[in-house]
A = this chain, B = another copy of it.
Amino acid sequence: MGWHGDSGKDAEQHFVAALGRRRRVRGKAVTKPRSRRGGGRPTIADVARKAGVGAITVSRALREPERVSEDLRRQIQAAVDELGYLPDPNARALASARAEVFGVLVPSLTNSVFAEVLRGIYDSLSDSSYRIQLGNTHYSGLEEERLLQVFGPQRPAALIVAGIDQTPTSRRLLETAGCPVVQVMETGPDPVDMMVGFSHFDGGKAATEHMIEMGYRRIGFMGARMDPRSQRRLAGYRAAMEAAGLFDARLVTTTPVPSSVTLGRELFRDALARMPTLDGVFCNNDDIALGVLFECHRASIAVPKTIGITGFNDLDMMEVAFPSVTSVRTPRYEIGRLSVAMALAAIAGKRPQQPVVDLGFELKRRESTAR
């Protein structure tokens, strides 16, 4: 096995010492060749020597090949291949004051919405040499600040953060990060730098209007967690309900508890107990909607006849559910992709004309509201 930590730091020190980086000879330090702290991987100097060029030319050949003559380029490539040279990203980062890292901050890792954003980011970055460093804010502004503080000194190439409601401190950290910043999931009036998302207010409004149009009147709102995006969906719901003269504060059921299918069932039970006349629910997200659907099955409540259900995000399974569930399809993967594309463009000096991109959403009308 390659690694043994059997006695920790000590073992490591001995290990390094055993490499014998330097040796004292009559009080004078001499360098023993080819034994480095690093453990003997080839360095750029080795490549340069083998190719018969200066180290800087190797560096250039690797990063800006067009600035090196084809002859040397070939020679250098041969030396690289022969030695199996791989540049040390840490040394690069130190020398250039820029790490090839995208910092990504999401509020949750298990919420599949962010998982898909992350997948989009990942897929757009996998051809490049950028690495992804992940941060989970747990929906906490304070934690977001802490993470930005940690990410900053590393000088990431770009930062992608979920949401537009940063604390003043976070906002300052983003503004002074010295790299492109993309706020994702939502759009808003005052980007730190760039934004990719859609309007949660409009999404909530469209979903609610659809239900009203389908003849539902006592439409409840059911929300968990109630992060800023949920709040805006609620505001959209309220706007639609008020416009139709249907709003009633008692129709709104929310909780700060994290969202889950289980919670959806419970919220629905509570709501129904309080408001037996409920004839529809617009759910904060699809987990809640699914919980409501299951509870309807269990309690033999007819969907969409007695109760109409609308979800939010349109997870894969909503279409397959029985009855299939109306939901607002959100462009999560696309948000991830585009955020990276915009960041890469900015890094390359080609800032997008339009720093704020609204990718919209699509209301998927399905059986659960087809009264």
Contact indicator A180/B3 (Cβ below 8 Å)? yes
Q: Mark A249-287, 1 if CB is under 8 A from B, else 0.
A: 000000000001110110000000000000000000001
Contact indicator A129/B150 (Cβ below 8 Å)? yes
**Would you mind naming 17 contact pairs between A and B with Cβ atoms under 8 Å apart?**
A2-B175, A2-B178, A3-B179, A5-B346, A6-B351, A8-B350, A10-B349, A90-B155, A93-B93, A101-B133, A109-B119, A115-B115, A132-B134, A134-B134, A261-B317, A265-B320, A295-B322
Residues of A within 8 A of B (CB): 1-3, 5-11, 37-39, 41, 86-91, 93-94, 97, 99, 101, 109-110, 112, 115-116, 118-119, 122, 126, 129, 131-134, 136, 149-150, 152-155, 174-181, 192-193, 260-262, 264-265, 287, 290-291, 294-295, 297-298, 316-317, 319-322, 346-351
Q: A122 contacts which of B10, B122, B136, B262 (Cβ < 8 Å)?
A: B136
Q: Hey, which chain B residues are within 8 Å of A178, CB to CB? A: 2-3, 39
Please indicate which of the listed interface residues A101, A290, A295, A349 has the most CB atoms of chain B within 10 Å of its own CB: A349
Contact indicator B126/A136 (Cβ below 8 Å)? yes
Q: Hey, which chain B residues are within 8 Å of A2, CB to CB? A: 174-178
Q: A109 contacts which of B41, B122, B349 (Cβ < 8 Å)?
A: B122
- How many copies of the chain does the oligomer comprise? 2
Contact indicator A110/B112 (Cβ below 8 Å)? yes
Contact indicator A153/B97 (Cβ below 8 Å)? no
Distance, CA A1 to CA B176, complexed state (A): 7
Q: Hey, which chain B residues are within 8 Å of A3, CB to CB? A: 177-181, 193
Distance, CA A115 to CA B41, complexed state (A): 34
Q: Hey, which chain B residues are within 8 Å of A154, CB to CB? A: 88-90, 131
Distance, CA A321 to CA B261, complexed state (A): 9
Q: Hey, which chain B residues are within 8 Å of A181, CB to CB? A: 3
Please indicate which of the listed interface residues A90, A265, A348 has the most CB atoms of chain B within 10 Å of its own CB: A90
Please indicate which of the listed interface residues A41, A136, A153, A192 has the most CB atoms of chain B within 10 Å of its own CB: A153
Distance in Å: Cβ of A135 to nearest Cβ of chain B: 8
Distance in Å: Cβ of A329 to nearest Cβ of chain B: 15
Contact indicator A320/B261 (Cβ below 8 Å)? yes
Contact indicator B115/A316 (Cβ below 8 Å)? no
Extra 12 A-B pairs, beta carbons < 8 Å, given A1-B175, A5-B349: A2-B178, A3-B178, A5-B351, A11-B349, A109-B115, A109-B116, A115-B115, A118-B134, A261-B316, A290-B317, A290-B320, A295-B322
Distance, CA A41 to CA B155, complexed state (A): 11
Are A7 and B149 CB-contacts (below 8 A) given A115-B109, A294-B322, A317-B290? no
Distance in Å: Cβ of A79 to nearest Cβ of chain B: 17
Contact indicator B320/A294 (Cβ below 8 Å)? yes
Contact indicator A6/B349 (Cβ below 8 Å)? yes
* Closest partner residue, chain B, to A109 (CB atom): B119
Contact indicator B122/A134 (Cβ below 8 Å)? yes
